[in-house]
Structure 1
Amino acid sequence: MQKKILHILVLPQLAGSQRVALDILRSLPDDEFEKHVLFSTEIDGIKRQECQQAFEGAGVKVHYSKNLKRSICLSDLPALFEIYRMCRRNRYDIVHTHSTKPGIIGRIAATLAQVPCVIHTVHGLAFHKFVKFPRWQFYWLCEMVASLFCDRIVLVNKYYLRYFKWFRKKNTTIYNGVDFSLFPPIVPISDRINREPLKILSVGRVDFQKDPLTLLKAAQIVIRKEPKVQFTIVGEGELYQDCVQFIAMHGLSANITMAGWHNDVQLFYMNHDIFALTSIYESFGLIFVEAGYHMLPVVATNVEGIPEVVLDGETGLLAEAKNVERIAENILHLMADSRMRTEMGIKAHDWVISHFSTEEMCRKYLDLYRACCVRS
């Protein structure tokens, strides 16, 4: 008899946690699991359509919640009751929540609805060092309370274990994975070595977390010393216009391109030489795995889970968050040393292929689901 499983996320777009959930659900045997996913209705249009088509193409039934929102709001309580009723009505065997907001509301609702197995994956934490302490305490307390309402907690890095030491029996670490079979062929290193001008790529949401203005300030320093260098920033977010204004104000339009949102970014990796991202917090970063697959050395920040994906001095160069000068130095160092770029690129490819595949990730989740079903 099939086990009914529901994944709960917020935004219906093919970003990090959504791609992870899609890969997990796609990999589950159809004769063993009946697959469902729940999203909010906050995003409409092409992104939502692409997301829905991808999940339905994987044999997943897609549901929407009119009350579930990404931010804290008055609809949180109605969302909890909506999910509770859905769980009672559909009699799910497993509810798997992703990220902070659905993790809090979804875990409580599923437990109250007596779902036999409730699992939460921590894709990121709202309490980090750039949050003021009263808010940090509030977010921490919410996460700890919600952790009482689940059977297993999956962390995407080992760094987060320090925050869940009271739940050691529930904790496990499963690194995110990428389906490398979907990627185009790699551009040979020999074709990149003498490519001019050098191109630096950044991919991700243009928002507070990714801190794109720090990257632009570092780029400004790099451009002064290497006037031919080209930067490309792929993504959208609330700081997009701030970035456009910064580029215009400092006369950097000839060197920096704001490329906007692209669902498929593989061609960008193939046409660039270095990958850079200046996040102030980052649980994992699938984009680092994608960059590594394409043999791009990485310049990034030494925060949370990044050092577990980007090996400092081996597959990239790390700096403290918001350290504009050091980030610029790391970019310039890689630009000046083609041998280092080559060695780091090759090591990055070998590292991500051997540690961050979807096959390994999905196998571990399937084992987790089966173990939970046996216990329940």
Structure 2
Amino acid sequence: MKILHLIYTHGIAGAEKYLLDLLPGLKEYGIHGEVMCVCPPVHKNKVQLYCNRLNEKGITTELIPTSRTNILNVAKKVNRYCIANNIKIIHSHLFNSDAIAVAVKIFFNKKIQLLSTKHGYKESYFIKNTDSIGKIEYNLYYFITKFVISKIDHNVTISKAIADLYYNLKLTPKKMAFIHHGISVDKKIIKEEGVKYRKFSPQIIIVGRLTKIKGHAYLFDAMPKIIEQFPTVQLLVMGEGIEHDALNIRAEKLGIQKNISFMGFQDNPYAFIEQSDIIALPSLYEPFGLVYIESFALKTPVVAFDVQACNEIIVHNETGILVKAKDSKGLATSIISLLQNPTERNRLTENGYRKYVSYYNTARMIKDTADWYNQLQIAVK
């Protein structure tokens, strides 16, 4: 089976990491994937680095820098590539890629088979509806999404939470199948790098884009109470985004600037996570949340809000601690309790690590994906 994976991207995030881990392993099942990356011209160099990483893993990759408004022209190029390389299946990832794939089928190649992985939904929807996820908002994005889904032959999601969301929004007549992410983390490589990533004691870390949906503000509000108990505590804020200035101002108002380190983007976040006492992830919603299972793999105890899909991955008081959403006091209490109890931290991390080894690994993800493809084999031959 030969498949072209189509992704409109600005750089490496969850969907891009997913392809890096997935495609090389699928070859063992006779499923050969190629990748076409479409990106805005301003991000060409960054995306080229991603393409290079795919090439290093033996995945043939094509890069098309173009505006996302140029859908028909891109669709024509995608179709030409499929014809030239005898590809009859396109597997798209993310909203813009789905739209391009559907344009290929409608305007250029009605026989092409379309598959799609749903990695999420419009982020502004989650920010606006954190207390009413599943509420339908009838807008242009909604209607385009519904039309595009109707033209795709087979859809799959990365979590039960996303499958439930699309069904509750009436975007699909029945719930889509879901395949959880899996990862591979070599802790030996991290430790052998010889770089000191333990900068403070105690050390808390939050990893993710600086956007409202990631809940940084609630963690900042929890910090004064944590600092009362641990004056030398330092929160490493890893990531970049539009909320950076607002969070800086919040830190100043709370008087916690000395206990906050804005780290920006880091090439090796795993090393910082592995060396931290706790990773706090107070997202208000996650389509999946790779960093949760990365924490399992790195044996760093995780404290998160009890929201979808966080509670799909973390079992409260077994593989992590879940706190009521938007509860900064509860967040502070849970973090303080874990900092005071290394035995409990160790129990949680050992349970999380066992879950990573037994389930949240790339081998399981690859097999589940191969099985899904093979269930569709009659339709896609």
TM above 0.5, yes or no, is yes
Residue in 2 that maps onto 1:126:
122
Give the counterpart of 1:271 among 271, 275, 300.
275
Q: Which residue pairs with 1:96 in the alignment?
A: 91
- Give the counterpart of 1:171 among 160, 176, 182: 176
Measured at CA, do residues 368 and 170 of structure 1 come closer, stay the same or move farther in structure 2, by a change above 3 Å? farther
Deviation for aligned residue 1:186:
8.1
Task: Quote the Cα distance in structure 1 between the aligned partners of 2:305 and 2:33.
Answer: 40
- Give, in whole Å, the separation in 2 of the partners of 1:61 and 1:186: 28
Q: What residue is the counterpart of 2:75 in the other structure?
A: 84
Instruction: Read off the aligned partner of 1:130 and give its amino acid letter.
Output: I
Q: Which segment is superposed worse, 127-136 or 20-29? A: 127-136
5+ unaligned residues in a row in structure 1: which ranges? 69-74, 188-194
1:11 aligns with 2:15: no
Tell me which of 250, 255, 263 is aligned to 1:251: 255
**2:356 aligned to 343, 349, 352, which one?**
352
Farther-moved stretch of structure 1 (237-246 vs 365-374): 365-374
Structure 2 matches for 1:91-240, cutoff 5 A?
A: 91=82, 92-103=87-98, 105-112=99-106, 113-114=109-110, 116-126=112-122, 128=125, 130-131=127-128, 136-138=137-139, 139-165=141-167, 167=172, 171-180=176-185, 182-184=186-188, 197-240=201-244
With the length of structure 2 as denominator, give the TM-score of the two structures: 0.84
Query: Structure 2 regions of 5+ residues with no counterpart?
Result: 192-198
Q: Report the residue type matching 2:25 in the other structure.
A: S
Match of 2:196 in 1: none
Superposed, which structure 2 residues align to 1:49-60 within 5 Å?
49-58=48-57, 59-60=59-60
In structure 2, the partner of 1:192 is none
In 2: Cα distance, 1:45 partner to 1:252 partner: 38
Please state whether the residue corresponding to 1:300 is helix, strand or coil.
Answer: strand
CA distance in 1, matches of 2:230, 2:126: 34
Match of 1:368 in 2: 372
Determine helix, strand or coil for the equivalent of 2:214. Answer: coil
Q: Give the conservation status (yes or no) of the 8 Å contact 2:210–2:216.
A: yes
Deviations 1:215-237 (A, max 9, x none): 21112331133212121111111
Contact 2:190 2:270 in 1 (8 A): no
CA 1:370–1:109 in structure 2 vs 1: closer, same or farther (change >3 Å)?
farther
How many pairs were matched up?
356
Distance in 1 between residues matched to 2:128 and 2:298, nearest whole Å: 34
User: RMSD over aligned Cα, in angstroms?
Assistant: 2.7
Cα distance change of structure 1 residues 52 and 361 upon mapping to structure 2, 3 Å threshold: same
Question: What letter matches 2:220 in structure 1?
Answer: L
C-alpha displacement at 1:313, in angstroms?
1.5
Tell me whether 1:61 sits opposite 2:61 in the alignment.
yes
* Alignment partner, residue 194 of structure 2: none
The answer to whether the 8 A contact 2:41-2:65 is kept is no
Structure with the largest fraction of helix: 2
Q: Which amino acid aligns with 1:106?
A: I
8 Å CA contact retained: 2:39, 2:64: yes
Alpha-carbon distance between aligned partners in 1 of 2:213 and 2:97, rounded to the nearest angstrom = 19
Q: How far did residue 365 of structure 1 move?
A: 1.9
From the superposition, tell whether residues 32 and 158 of structure 1 become closer, same or farther in structure 2 (CA, over 3 Å).
closer
Look up the SS of the partner of 2:315 in the other structure. coil
Q: Give me the whole-angstrom Cα distance separating, in 1, the residues matched to 2:93 and 2:370.
A: 16
Q: Which amino acid counterpart does residue 293 of structure 2 have in structure 1?
A: V
TM-score (norm: length of structure 1): 0.85
- Aligned pairs (5 A) from 1:278-293: 278-293=282-297
Structure 1 CA distance, aligned partners of 2:56 and 2:345?
39
Letter in 1 for 2:5: H
What CA distance in whole angstroms lies between the structure 1 residues aligned with 2:374 and 2:144?
28
Change (3 A) 1:90 1:4: farther
Q: Which deviates the most, 131-140 or 43-52?
A: 131-140
Q: SS where residue 136 of structure 1 aligns?
A: coil
Amino acid at match of 1:36: V
1:320-359 pair list within 5 angstroms: 320-359=324-363
Letter in 2 for 1:153: N
Q: Indicate if the aligned counterparts of 1:284 and 1:306 stay in contact, CA closer than 8 A.
A: yes
Shift of 1:300: 0.8
* Mapped contact 2:208–2:239 kept (Cα < 8 A): yes
Distance change (3 Å), C-alpha of 1:151 and 1:93? same
Deviation at 1:272, TM superposition (A): 0.5
- The whole-number CA distance in structure 2 between the counterparts of 1:258 and 1:358 is 31
Deviation, 1:34, is 5.4
Aligned partner of residue 39 in structure 1, secondary structure: strand
Distance 2:24 2:315 in 1: 30
Amino acid at match of 1:118: L
